[in-house]
Amino acid sequence: MSAQTVDIALAGVSFAYPDGRQALRGITCRFAAGRCTAVAGPNGSGKSTLLGLLNGIHLAGSGEVRIGDLVVGKHTLEQVRRRVGLVFQEPDWQLFCPTVGEDVAFGPLNLGLGRAEVAERVRETLSVIELPGFEDRSPFHLSGGEKKLASLATVLAMRPEVLALDEPTAGLDPFHRRRLIDLVRRLAGTRILATHDLDLALDLADDLVLLDEGRLVAAGPAGELLRDRELLERHRLELPLRLQGDPAPPSPTLNNHELH
């Protein structure tokens, strides 16, 4: 659905939250146009913050974020958000309207599109994500997997050049996980996934950016980095399950009295 593609470049980007927590430190990397890049790292490594910087939800404390030739800043937010679509990890954050149709229409209406075009985009997007006829359903009554797909639809309807997905498979059952992976694979444009699901990264990503404690620790082809056991374990990750071979022996079972 995203026809155009665009390069993203971060140069020496640092970001701290208002409470002083330094989330990113001097990140320099590039997300190549038309490719799928996974941003991996353990919990708290700064993956979600980095995605927020791409859409202008957070503004870099120092350094520069470029979407093509556009520098992300206070005065370019409107253009940035037209080009970069961000899907949050929690569907409950993303879905805030009374019906799925209104939620999907929210972004296109903000783009200033006419009603007929918005209605067409809603219908088409819901059909692409295989939720046709969900326009009048309440997001509150959807299953977890459907909510996740509907969240994706709310952003796809804006036809962004860059699609940034935060933990897209978190909490999904195998069926919905597979459905989402197939869908993201079919999408054109630049795709960026923040995840610690390394099997997902292995399935989808061309490139990998590895973060730990807000620092960039590795960047390169996903196929190579995801096979580097030592690198992954050093940063509290592990090889994708598919590459692990025999599973490790299970840890001894804890008895109830050991818990007290």
Partner 1 sequence: MRHDFIDHHSRPGGPLQRLHPAGKVWAAVLAVTAASAVPAPRFTPFWPLLGLWLAGAALGRVRPDHLLGKLWLPLGFTVLAVLPLPWLRPSGSPWPGWPSLAGWPFYPESAWLALHAIARAAVILLLVILLMATTPFGELMHVLEQGRVPRVFLRILALLYRYLFIVVDEAEKMQLAVACRSTGRMPARRWRRMIGNAVGTLFLRSLERGEAVYQAMLARGFAGRFQSLSDARWSWREVLLLTGTLGMAALSGWKSWHP
Residue closer to partner 1 by CB (options 54, 219) is 54
Q: Are strands 215-221 and 190-195 parallel, antiparallel or unpaired?
A: unpaired
Residue closer to partner 1 by CB (options 59, 243) is 59
Residue closer to partner 1 by CB (options 62, 138) is 138
**In whole angstroms, how close is the CB of 97 to partner 1 at the nearest point?**
7
Instruction: Please list the residues that pair with 9 across neighbouring strands.
Output: 30, 66
**In whole angstroms, how close is the CB of 189 to partner 1 at the nearest point?**
17
CA-CA distances (angstroms) from residue 254 to 199, 249, 250, 260?
A: 28, 15, 12, 11
Determine if 185 is a binding residue for partner 1 (CB under 8 A).
Answer: no
Residue closer to partner 1 by CB (options 92, 233) is 92
Instruction: Please list the residues that pair with 13 across neighbouring strands.
Output: 27
Tokens of 159: 């036809």
- The Cβ-side half-sphere exposure at 156, using a 13 Å CA radius, reads 25
Determine if 102 is a binding residue for partner 1 (CB under 8 A).
Answer: yes
Determine if 94 is a binding residue for partner 1 (CB under 8 A).
Answer: yes
Q: Select the residue interacting with partner 1 from 7, 90, 124, 206 (CB under 8 A).
A: 90
DSSP 196-222: S-HHHHHHH-SEEEEEETTEEEEEEEH
3-class state of residue 254 by DSSP: coil
User: Whole-angstrom distance between the N-terminal and C-terminal Cα of the chain?
Assistant: 54
**In whole angstroms, how close is the CB of 125 to partner 1 at the nearest point?**
13
Nearest CA among 89, 180, 88, 103 for reference residue 139: 103
Determine if 110 is a binding residue for partner 1 (CB under 8 A).
Answer: yes
Tokens of 73: 């800043």
Q: Select the residue interacting with partner 1 from 8, 72, 131, 158 (CB under 8 A).
A: 158
Non-local (6+) Cβ contacts of 20 within 8 A are none
Determine if 78 is a binding residue for partner 1 (CB under 8 A).
Answer: yes
Residue pair 232/238 in contact by the 8 Å Cβ criterion: yes
DSSP at 33: T
**In whole angstroms, how close is the CB of 81 to partner 1 at the nearest point?**
5
Q: Select the residue interacting with partner 1 from 118, 150, 152, 202 (CB under 8 A).
A: 118
Determine if 6 is a binding residue for partner 1 (CB under 8 A).
Answer: no
Region from 8-16, 52-60, 167-175, 224-232 binding partner 1, contact rule CB under 8 A:
52-60
* Per rule CB under 8 A, count of chain residues that contact partner 1: 37
Task: Give me the residues that bind partner 1 (CB under 8 A), please.
Answer: 52, 55-57, 78, 81-82, 85-86, 88, 90, 92-99, 101-102, 105-107, 109-111, 115, 118-119, 136, 138-140, 154-155, 158
